[in-house]
Structure 1
């Protein structure tokens, strides 16, 4: 007696296949899954007649594969498929290697896709050799990123960490990998790096500055090194906040290990499974811990580099401060005699070499001894501070230097300033000091404080050779010229400028 098979019989026979397959009749829209596929992907609905919806993603672009390029579409056109995809069901999303075949049945042709997931390869007949190969592959992965992180600059570090998370997520076939950092005193945590598989929603922007106190169950476990949840639904009552957070993100399984830096918990690295529970294996924990240790060592080195850089910066700043203090007059805050001497020598040499003009003013506060005797040294110091500010504000050149030359004497170095400009600056200084209106009833000249100014100008209108001879006395010659001019200003009745 001949037995005739119908479509339902073919579906039932293919469903019984222990291997992980998807099958479809070209004349029908429905896609069916074998019992082996249901086990691998933990499909919620099962049975020969159960139909499912599947999404295929391109592993490189993470984009959904268009209808014209779907494995079933290509196979129905006669093309042989042998390619990696990320396959999403209503329960799980996994990386798979898919091969196609077309079988002929009494009811017609059927397209069959053999789906080899990571789980399938680990459970096959050569599981021991597969596990060894997996460990070797992981060690190669770890070595690759370790060498990158060792030589990475601070600016390259974030990019390499992102690459490491992507490689880990793809290798372990999880849906999300991430790193969180704790704030000082572990008061809050922020998601700093995140990788998500195709079809998975990222949450890095939402997971910032989360108060640690809102997740007490998680904090207790991660502080001890490991937070492992195979099934979020099985979390105890005291983890109600954590369970709510995970369910909002459709997370069914979570694995996190802490990252230590300088014997302090810096943060944690974790990964999630979305859609269905997953029993974390010992190698899952080992892999994540080793990645965490690698990142911890990297962050430790980065921390040490930053600490060294900070110390070097602070040392440079301290040296600059010491140099500044060594060159600044403590009372007036302007350059002191030490800085004046070195600057004048440098400017004379530069002006001689470049054949430019250099001018100098020596300024003396008139009858300042009588002012101190009459009003006291505190008032005298205040008067010198005001005059120093006035001198600074009266000289507008970027290379000008105002210095306290000694006692009540000041000096102004004026590079690239010609004689006519020098007269104008000196007149402005005398006028601005007068505007201070500092009373000086003890003055033999006026009832308010005034200054006398000696001017000197080195104009290089000579050949280079003659200029060098002209400036052989250098800075000393220019100071002597200004000092003689200052004497003439005092002899002329003070409160004036002389050349």
Structure 2
């Protein structure tokens, strides 16, 4: 079984039904600095793979019960297999066997009797390729995340808002479920910037974004920076009452931050106005109409005195 892991030491799973073959592979690979775990058949290999997540699998093609081709096929179905290369070890050199090995997902193969320098290089290369692939995918995921995150507030950006709202609109249309949207605007934010400076204004936006994120935690909900001092919240599977509760909590939470705003015309602290709308998308309606409705509600909240929220054309008190 797996020994105590050492730094940068890779784990090799050897799968072969012949004890002698496993022994010589283990001795060779341990001298190369690898950790080794052994399986004597395909079923045991699948169990060990799920438990230990090896860095590479050396798999004998010809075994009783479950051969290497079937074992390799089943490995492909495991979520944890994504980056783990399979090196097939086979005494079969015919074209059909070689083609079959690659068809079931093997990354490479070596033939028996094993040429040890070849095995050394192929194991090393396959692990390096696997590591590089994982690093590239991690970098790509981070780039994708950065492309959809607002740099200042660390909530979703306008691009992500548009992408996600369209996805949810289409999904709610198919399922005939309610979709709610809230658009918020920090009250008298230009005066705040003029009074305290843009750096303090940036910190204010960061605090407000964080407090909205803390409220909007349900799976599927999204908080986005919609514009300069505007934020938007997308609430799939949420009816009018649910959206009302969220909007009320947002306005209350921003007040509770008690960020001083000496030139505000409604409060000695920073406040926020919000407008929201709820709709079950219909074939003859579109997302832009919904966004416009939420925007109108925001405008009405502002004209009604700010520091409040409003649904569509119907005033909802603080």
Q: TM-score range by the shorter chain?
A: 0.5 to 0.7
What is the match of residue 66 of structure 2? none
What is the match of residue 364 of structure 1? 185
Counterpart contact for 2:12–2:34, Cα < 8 Å:
no
What is the match of residue 125 of structure 1? none
Tell me, in whole angstroms, the C-alpha distance in 2 between the residues paired with 1:412 and 1:309.
39
Counterpart pick for 1:468 among 276, 283, 287: 283
Tell me, in whole angstroms, the C-alpha distance in 2 between the residues paired with 1:324 and 1:351.
25
Tell me, in whole angstroms, the C-alpha distance in 2 between the residues paired with 1:167 and 1:192.
10
Counterpart pick for 2:30 among 170, 178, 181: 181
Counterpart pick for 1:395 among 203, 216, 219: 216
SS in 2 for 1:468: coil
What is the match of residue 376 of structure 1? 197
Tell me, in whole angstroms, the C-alpha distance in 2 between the residues paired with 1:156 and 1:320.
27
Counterpart pick for 1:352 among 163, 166, 173: 173
TM-score after normalising by structure 2: 0.66
Counterpart pick for 1:158 among 14, 39, 53: 14
Deviation at 1:155, TM superposition (A): 9.2
What is the match of residue 436 of structure 1? 257
Counterpart pick for 2:291 among 467, 475, 479: 479
SS in 2 for 1:158: strand
Residues 1:316 and 2:172 aligned together: no
Deviation at 1:332, TM superposition (A): 0.6
Deviation at 1:308, TM superposition (A): 1.4
The aligned runs of 1:198-213 (5 Å cut-off) are none
CA separation of 1:458/1:193 partners in 2, compared to 1, >3 Å: closer, same or farther?
Answer: closer
What is the match of residue 272 of structure 2? 451
TM-score after normalising by structure 1: 0.43
Q: Deviating runs (4+, > 3 A) in structure 1?
A: 154-157, 160-169, 177-183, 189-194
Superposition RMSD in Å: 2.9
Consecutive unaligned residues in structure 1, runs of 5 or more: 1-153, 170-176, 184-188, 195-290, 461-466
Task: Look at both structures and tell me which one has the larger radius of gyration over its CA atoms.
Answer: 1
Deviation at 1:396, TM superposition (A): 2.5
CA separation of 1:300/1:446 partners in 2, compared to 1, >3 Å: closer, same or farther?
Answer: same
Residues 1:422 and 2:243 aligned together: yes
**Which one has the bigger strand percentage?**
1
SS in 2 for 1:443: coil
SS in 1 for 2:115: helix
CA separation of 1:168/1:354 partners in 2, compared to 1, >3 Å: closer, same or farther?
Answer: closer
Counterpart contact for 1:455–1:481, Cα < 8 Å:
yes
Residues 1:341 and 2:153 aligned together: no
**1:101-136 CA distance string (max 9 Å, x none):** xxxxxxxxxxxxxxxxxxxxxxxxxxxxxxxxxxxx
SS in 2 for 1:360: strand
Tell me, in whole angstroms, the C-alpha distance in 1 between the residues paired with 2:35 and 2:177.
60
Counterpart contact for 2:155–2:209, Cα < 8 Å:
yes
Higher RCO, 1 vs 2 (CA within 8 Å, ≥6 residues apart): 2
**1:281-328 CA distance string (max 9 Å, x none):** xxxxxxxxxx99724422321221121122222222222111111111
Deviation at 1:413, TM superposition (A): 0.2
Counterpart contact for 1:400–1:413, Cα < 8 Å:
yes
CA separation of 1:377/1:308 partners in 2, compared to 1, >3 Å: closer, same or farther?
Answer: same
Counterpart contact for 2:221–2:235, Cα < 8 Å:
yes
Counterpart pick for 1:412 among 227, 230, 233: 233
SS in 2 for 1:413: strand
SS in 1 for 2:135: helix
Deviation at 1:180, TM superposition (A): 6.1
Tell me, in whole angstroms, the C-alpha distance in 1 between the residues paired with 2:296 and 2:35.
73
**1:343-369 CA distance string (max 9 Å, x none):** 111111111111000000000000000
CA separation of 1:303/1:426 partners in 2, compared to 1, >3 Å: closer, same or farther?
Answer: same
Deviation at 1:407, TM superposition (A): 0.2
Tell me, in whole angstroms, the C-alpha distance in 2 between the residues paired with 1:156 and 1:397.
41
